[in-house]
Structure 1
Amino acid sequence: MHPKEEIERLKKLINYHNNLYYNLDNPVLSDTQYDELYKQLKDLEEQYPQYRTKNSPTQRVGGQAGELFSPVKHAVPMMSLDNSYSPDEIREWYERAEKTLQRNDFEMVVEAKIDGVSCSLTYENGILVTAASRGDGKTGEDITANVRTIKNIPQKIENAPAGMLEIRGEVYLEKKDLAALNEKQLLNAENIFANTRNAAAGSLRQKDPQMTAQRSLKFFAHSFGAGDISADSFSGFIDLCRQWGFSICPARTKTTQMSEVIRFYNQFDAARHQLPYDVDGLVVKVNRFEYQRILGVTAKSPRWAIAFKYPAPQATTTVENILFSVGRSGVITPVAELKPVAVGGVTISNATLHNFDEISRLGLRVGDSVIIERAGEVIPKVVKVAEHKGGPDVLPPAACPSCGEGVYKEPDEVGYYCVNPSCPAQLRARLLHFASRGAMDIEGLGEVVMDQLLENKYVADFADIYNLSFLHLLNLENFKDKKAQNLLDSIEASKQKPLSRLLFALGIAFVGAKTAEILADRFRTLDALKDAPLEELQSVREVGEIVSHSIYDFFRSPRALEQIERLRAAGLNFTQPKKELAGNILDGKTLVFTGELKTMSRTEAELLAKEYGGKASGSVSKKTSYVVAGAEPGSKLKKARELGVPVLSEEEFLQLIGKK
């Protein structure tokens, strides 16, 4: 291929993966694979500079400013770092800096590279006014409302320099919080996040800041953006950040010796896995700002810093088979059955292939040798075919692998679905969902037991679970008296679960655990919800047109109505208890919160007011009982004083409800 054509091919391919990574938060290449593509393009452009263009990925940061939020132009471009993966590459970087500075005694700071999302925080006279994503490096997205929910980001900096100050860092999610979030996603029948970075990125792009607030995001300050500060070095800037109340990653060292950098890299490789957050490498920075200015930047990256990354845990194995799994909604998912292989200390024997478009992208066939990756991933994935073995193409099934009925695909979707609502695989998945912890919470009714119940034809729908007898269970493998009685007791106890659990358990399309609770709190009984007209369903907050139609149609299905009556006859609870309030101190009171609170976000304060019987409002009127004012309260405080509405400080509010 002609060099110009190869350069254009690589540019197109890299731009495609940039969009997946930066804008869609859905990368399909490992960092190592991406960097290899980038290096190929960079080397070709250096060899044939006449074919290098301004729009090349080597000349800019990878993302684009998204359209979901307002654009924010960065005062100083937010650049991405060049990557190195070996001691030789990091030494080459050091030697270039040494040559430019004409000295070998310059100090370097080495710190952990957190696998999160870059974020810029702009303060005016110490008050946080704007938070922005990196975007294309010049223009990002305004994510201020969402970033304000991150509890360890100071809303106000004490003793801050006058004027504008920009601090940059990483928004991240801890591993335990990812596990909890994915458990919640599964319970809500929603997609799980592959890793902490994807979860952090998705959380920052929520339209509703309250959703972001529930995600336990955290922030580490790691870079100086712009402003007038007293520090003359990066380490001095980090000391200032500590004084201003920012969290700083503790994994850091300072040295003038490249041998020390490499030693720290090798020692830290094992230690990083014990950290509560994901770390994919180190960042090495020349410490003094004066030297940073001398070294300068390229079109894309600073010359005074570099990422020293750890290769992702990978292994090569063979695809022995491709199976088709049928979920409770009927979607058919291809799964690669692998020759067992150890990856990152875990033995992997299968990996999801997501959909048939992914199989086509990989060019995957049974018998192929493939590279499996598990780098902080919840689900191992096939990242590349190492060697094609000439097997037949993998095609979507013409019939459901479970029931043999037909398969259909919506024109604008990637998924294939089984057309049979009575499909055994769908029934199994629906029954397991019904009994799951977030639904009816029937302890002991897992996959092994459910498979035996289905095989013996003891259950064919939800209501059959409540008709199981002691004798039924004793016929199952490994069941004795005590185990059988424990399961029956758990089934009996599930009858008292609130309506919200039952609604979620029924598996109504688009109704997750949160929506089920909103519906149950609003309608109080299953019959009231069942008989609600479509217009009333559409008026419920957080229930849009698609969800309301799904609920309405479900309760007009003869099969669903028959199932409900059988569950009623079995004695299940069809009501939602009123939530017990922590007290009635604020009963009948309307509160307005304004300004920046010290110990909580305004959303958290409003929820606390509701917990104690009050009502939160967004505007001040004569009917307002109290205005709770934090720092920089604005016009609401002025209006409260004009109307004579009592004004409380945050501390006085907490004292009022007995929290202080």
Structure 2
Amino acid sequence: MSPSEAKQQIDALSAELKQHTYNYYVLAMPTISDFDFDKKLEQLAALEKQFPEFLDPDSPTQRVGGFVTKEFTTVRHRWPMLSLGNTYNEQELLDFDQRIRKAIGDNFEYVCELKFDGLSMSLTYQDGKLLRAVTRGDGSQGDDVTTNVKTIHTIPKRLHGVGYPDTFEIRGEVFMHRKAFERLNQERIDNGEQPYANPRNFASGTIKLQDSSEVAKRPLDCFLYGLYTEKTLFKTHWESLQGVKDWGFHVNNESRLCNNIEEVLAFITEWDKRRFELSYDIDGIVIKVNSYGQQQELGFTAKSPRWAISYKYKAEQVQTQLLEVTYQVGRTGAVTPVANLKPVLLAGTTVKRATLHNANEILRLDLHKGDWVFVEKGGEIIPKIISVNLDKRDASAEAIQYVTHCPECGTQLKRQEGEAAFYCPNDEGCRPQITGKMQHYVGRKAMNIDGLGDETIETLFARGFIRHISDIYALNNQQDNLKTMERFGEKSITNMLEGIEKSKQMPFEKVLFGLGIRFIGETVAKKLAAYFKNIDALMAASFDELIAVDEIGDRIAHSLIEYFSTDKHREEIEKLRAAGLQFEVEEKEVTFASDKFAGKSFIISGVFEKYSRDELKDIIEQNGGKILSSISAKLNYLVAGDNMGPSKLEKATKLNIPIISDEELLAMLQ
């Protein structure tokens, strides 16, 4: 290879790797696997070694990690957060072991830890209190995300036990459990928002939210594993893992102390199979020399410690046949293609279907009917087609053509500029959109109507009782007809009608969210209701007035304008208004402002007639009180409403915690 050719390759690889790094660390949306990234990095390093005159100080081979976002305060790490060298095979681990033995002899131990697929975090504690939380960033400096991290329940705000230093850092990984990821991702899909590819991306995106109250709604977890102090407290890493547990830190219990490389390899093999049993994702195993003295002796390279390495598991991949492509229509009208596959075992589960995301993905894969495809689970969660085995393609196979018309109602699909998905515009006549919107409307996070579940909505729609949300409020006039439905007795009808009547008292923000307008999630609905106060002001708002609201961008503003410009939508709102729904914020004057609750802690649980839980929370905080997240002996009062969870009541009773009503709470302020 000539120098000029080498220069071209080095420049091209550098640019590509920098973009992948930005996608991974800043956007939290990687477009390449870890394995492929590492191979490209190795290729670049080899070229730079062969042609050192082209080595740039800003080359990806010289950087520890990614970029620092400008949304948070930048903080320099006291101890650099270095990356670990990666290996994907047994021989490279044996080579690592031999290097260790040459340097320090044969008398040493390893600690093996699960390599969590999350977001690296450094926590600083001072006098036993959490002082600061900083992301890894570029390894030398990161983002101060303390306010967001304080919402993670497994990270102690104050330490217990004894023996911890006045000031120290502890490092770990913030992550999201799979079940939480699946539930929250489904909510994003239901709200017409772009879903995250895997739990790691969701956790990373959550930590970078500006509003910590939104972070608190997303259940994040954190395992801690690395202690950094001025003065060494423990002789070994294993001792430190046990020691920090006593201070209250959440330490993973699956780590293992190994006497030799054979035990390390056995641990890796064991977890290659068992990793799918975990509630969270791991993408490998971290191996560390146990003794801190020996770690110091081995030292560091410019990028990573010589005494540690990570073994990365390859994403499990299987080959199976594509049977057909079908299409799902969501409540927002988005049409999602789904690959129906010949059943195959993958990552511990039988996979029959895989997402194809959108029309662009079908084109990228160049899918043909009957193709044999390679499938893997992205982030061990979502099955996806990686590529096609062209050697097994039938020469006469036809290319898959994305549908041009809605598979449910036959309406021609539309695609809005800047969006990847096609949409069915027939929201008033497309069955899954109609039933989906009503199911969303009656759901727990919207109008919370008891007795109206998904199956009941489907049945009522099939029988012709309901076609629009407003029809729900006319069911009271069809009691005799309702009794003709199977498995729908008088008690069920009564409960349902009572639930419908009760929903008329739900606040404006819930009604707005329940309407199912594209991109209007629960939080956005709350901000819009608080800003515009009533539906008429919101419907009359211009584009500029809409984007003036905190966190309302162009996409949401255009969606609102389009929705309210449709006569049928406005007619529906008027019918709901006539039925008695709340389309105006009810302003409650709270005149309390004192320190009467100073030093007192509260938990609010249940449903209240006069106040929402948020309003009671504001009253407590405005008068010096503190809201806790869980019941413990430190709690002073449990404010109990209707439908309070029995477990909370039982625990509070056992701990002799006073249980008071909202009226008793307010009386304490008189």
Task: Mark yes or no: TM-score above 0.5.
Answer: yes
**CA 1:532 to 1:23, structure 2 compared with 1: closer, same or farther past 3 Å?**
closer
Maintained 8 Å contact 2:524/2:552: no
TM-score of the superposed pair, with normalisation by structure 2: 0.76
Q: Which residue of 1 aligns with 2:502?
A: 496
Q: Which residue of 1 aligns with 2:165?
A: 161
Deviation, 1:304, is 1.2
**CA 1:230 to 1:307, structure 2 compared with 1: closer, same or farther past 3 Å?**
same
Helix, strand or coil for the counterpart of 1:382? strand
305-314 or 356-365, which deviates more: 356-365
Supply the RMSD in Å over aligned alpha carbons: 4.7
Q: Which residue of 2 aligns with 1:19?
A: 22
**CA 1:142 to 1:394, structure 2 compared with 1: closer, same or farther past 3 Å?**
farther
Are 2:565 and 1:561 equivalent residues in the alignment?
A: no
Deviation, 1:471, is 9.2
Maintained 8 Å contact 2:347/2:377: yes
Match for 2:293 among 290, 295, 317?
290
For the residues of structure 1 that align with 2:43 and 2:493, how far apart are their CA atoms? 60
Counterparts of 1:48-447 in structure 2, within 5 Å, are 53-101=56-104, 103-124=105-126, 126-156=128-158, 159-162=163-166, 164-182=167-185, 184-185=187-188, 188-225=191-228, 227-374=230-377, 376-387=379-390, 389=393, 398-422=404-428, 424=430, 426-439=433-446, 441=449, 446=454
Maintained 8 Å contact 2:451/2:495: no
Helix, strand or coil for the counterpart of 1:150? coil
Are 2:519 and 1:510 equivalent residues in the alignment?
A: yes
Deviation, 1:337, is 3.1
Deviation, 1:170, is 1.1
Deviation, 1:205, is 0.6
Give the counterpart letter for 1:311 in structure 2: K
Match for 1:462 among 450, 453, 469?
469
Give the counterpart letter for 1:505 in structure 2: G
For the residues of structure 2 that align with 1:627 and 1:572, how far apart are their CA atoms? 36
**CA 1:378 to 1:496, structure 2 compared with 1: closer, same or farther past 3 Å?**
farther
Helix, strand or coil for the counterpart of 2:374? strand
Deviation, 1:342, is 2.3
For the residues of structure 1 that align with 2:246 and 2:550, how far apart are their CA atoms? 41
Deviation, 1:285, is 0.1
For the residues of structure 2 that align with 1:453 and 1:184, how far apart are their CA atoms? 23
For the residues of structure 2 that align with 1:337 and 1:609, how far apart are their CA atoms? 45
Maintained 8 Å contact 1:333/1:355: yes
Counterparts of 1:499-578 in structure 2, within 5 Å, are 499-500=506-507, 501-516=510-525, 528-530=534-536, 544=552, 554=563, 557-567=566-576, 573-574=581-582
Give the counterpart letter for 1:511 in structure 2: I
1:219-244 Cα shifts (integer Å, max 9, x gaps): 22212345333334322433442343
Unaligned runs of 5+ in 2: 604-611, 640-655, 659-670
Counterparts of 1:552-631 in structure 2, within 5 Å, are 554=563, 557-567=566-576, 573-574=581-582, 588-590=592-594, 611=616, 614=619, 616=621, 626=624
For the residues of structure 2 that align with 1:331 and 1:260, how far apart are their CA atoms? 51
Maintained 8 Å contact 1:75/1:226: no
**CA 1:323 to 1:221, structure 2 compared with 1: closer, same or farther past 3 Å?**
same
Maintained 8 Å contact 2:597/2:620: no
1:144-203 Cα shifts (integer Å, max 9, x gaps): 2212222333445565434x5222111122344334534554565544444332222122
1:515-555 Cα shifts (integer Å, max 9, x gaps): 4466678999xxx5346675799699867476578657755
Give the counterpart letter for 1:413 in structure 2: E
For the residues of structure 2 that align with 1:87 and 1:471, how far apart are their CA atoms? 72
Maintained 8 Å contact 1:588/1:613: no
For the residues of structure 2 that align with 1:277 and 1:579, how far apart are their CA atoms? 43
Maintained 8 Å contact 1:187/1:439: no
For the residues of structure 2 that align with 1:567 and 1:429, how far apart are their CA atoms? 18
Deviation, 1:286, is 0.8
**CA 1:609 to 1:352, structure 2 compared with 1: closer, same or farther past 3 Å?**
closer
Give the counterpart letter for 2:419 in structure 1: E
Maintained 8 Å contact 2:10/2:47: yes
Deviation, 1:118, is 0.3
**CA 1:516 to 1:255, structure 2 compared with 1: closer, same or farther past 3 Å?**
same
Helix, strand or coil for the counterpart of 1:241? helix
Deviation, 1:378, is 4.0
Deviation, 1:204, is 0.7
Q: Which residue of 1 aligns with 2:608?
A: none
Give the counterpart letter for 1:245 in structure 2: G
For the residues of structure 2 that align with 1:545 and 1:13, how far apart are their CA atoms? 30
**CA 1:443 to 1:348, structure 2 compared with 1: closer, same or farther past 3 Å?**
farther
1:584-628 Cα shifts (integer Å, max 9, x gaps): 9x9823459999x9999xxxxxx99953672645xxxxxxx6588
For the residues of structure 2 that align with 1:26 and 1:398, how far apart are their CA atoms? 29
**CA 1:181 to 1:330, structure 2 compared with 1: closer, same or farther past 3 Å?**
closer
Unaligned runs of 5+ in 1: 601-606, 618-624, 631-649
Maintained 8 Å contact 1:538/1:548: yes
1:108-162 Cα shifts (integer Å, max 9, x gaps): 1112222221011234555543321111222221212212222333445565434
For the residues of structure 2 that align with 1:106 and 1:21, how far apart are their CA atoms? 36
**CA 1:379 to 1:459, structure 2 compared with 1: closer, same or farther past 3 Å?**
farther
Maintained 8 Å contact 1:521/1:578: no
1:234-274 Cα shifts (integer Å, max 9, x gaps): 22433442343322111122122111112222334444444
Deviation, 1:373, is 1.6
Give the counterpart letter for 2:486 in structure 1: K
Helix, strand or coil for the counterpart of 2:263? helix
Match for 1:450 among 452, 458, 463?
458
106-115 or 586-595, which deviates more: 586-595
**CA 1:226 to 1:161, structure 2 compared with 1: closer, same or farther past 3 Å?**
closer
Q: How many residues align?
A: 613
For the residues of structure 1 that align with 2:83 and 2:170, how far apart are their CA atoms? 16
For the residues of structure 1 that align with 2:373 and 2:12, how far apart are their CA atoms? 24
Deviation, 1:208, is 0.9
Deviation, 1:324, is 4.3
For the residues of structure 1 that align with 2:266 and 2:601, how far apart are their CA atoms? 42
Maintained 8 Å contact 2:547/2:553: no
Maintained 8 Å contact 2:594/2:624: yes
